[in-house]
């Protein structure tokens, strides 16, 4: 690969996903205001933040291809943020019990040299089982997913919370839609299967 590839994120989850592609890349954490604008719906929010994260990192990496990503979980058009505490995680899972939560992941691939970018929002639906309070409490004690939108880790025990998963790419649920990213990289001349 002739051009540097930079992941605009400090997320260990996104790094682990990108590692699956076997491409050389570096990480550079963007420092942007992620506050939702008053007139912004969830899809607009994740698209804007994915682009702004890539643009912030592009300023420090002027010849690179920059990957920006942002994700929110929504229930009835209400955004579920990262719970950060046990109490909020419990409340989120009780609210999600027996219902479908939609995850929206904004993905941007920005050519820092030309400032041209590709931008997509990838949806993924999670239908939760009917959960008893004791199941929620046991899950939270075991996995403590307080830094995860929706209060679970699908790559771990969180899979036991679900009835059904619906979407094009299960990686998007973790925060980086790899199928879409591979297509974007190919448009920039990077074939991950050939290692170039």
Residues 172 and 180: their CA atoms lie apart, in Å, by 9
Q: Residue 11: how many CB atoms within 10 A of its CB?
A: 19
Q: Is residue 107 within a helix (H) or strand (E), and if so which, with residue range?
A: strand 100-111
Distance, CA of 30 to chain centre:
15
Residues 161 and 171: their CA atoms lie apart, in Å, by 17
Question: Encoding tokens for residue 194?
Answer: 């050939």
Please tell me which residue in 31, 39, 70, 125 is annotated as part of the active site: 70
Question: Encoding tokens for residue 3?
Answer: 């051009």
Residues 168 and 122: their CA atoms lie apart, in Å, by 8
Active site residue 70: yes
Residues 11 and 59: their CA atoms lie apart, in Å, by 20
What is the Cβ-side half-sphere exposure of residue 108, based on CA atoms within 13 angstroms? 29
First-to-last alpha carbon distance for the chain, in angstroms, is 5
Identify the DSSP state of 12.
Answer: H
Q: Provide the annotated active-site residues.
A: 70
């Amino acid at each position: 690969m002739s051009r540097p590839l930079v992941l605009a994120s400090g997320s260990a989850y996104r790094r682990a996903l990108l590692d699956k592609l076997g491409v050389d890349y570096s990480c550079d954490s963007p420092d942007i205001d992620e506050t939702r604008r008053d007139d912004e719906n969830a899809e607009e929010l994740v698209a804007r933040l994915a682009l702004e994260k890539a643009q912030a990192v592009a300023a420090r990496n002027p010849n690179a291809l920059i990957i920006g990503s942002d994700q929110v979980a929504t229930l009835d058009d209400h955004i579920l943020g990262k719970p950060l505490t046990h109490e909020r995680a419990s409340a989120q899972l009780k609210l999600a019990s027996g219902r479908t939560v939609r995850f929206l992941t904004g993905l941007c691939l920005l050519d820092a040299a030309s400032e041209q970018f590709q931008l997509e929002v990838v949806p993924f639906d999670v239908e939760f089982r009917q959960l008893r309070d004791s199941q929620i409490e046991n899950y939270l004690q075991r996995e403590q997913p307080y830094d995860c939108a929706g209060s679970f880790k699908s790559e771990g025990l969180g899979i036991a919370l679900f009835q059904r998963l619906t979407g094009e790419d299960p990686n998007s649920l973790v925060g980086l839609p790899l199928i879409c990213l591979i297509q974007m990289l190919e448009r920039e001349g990077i074939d991950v299967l050939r290692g170039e």
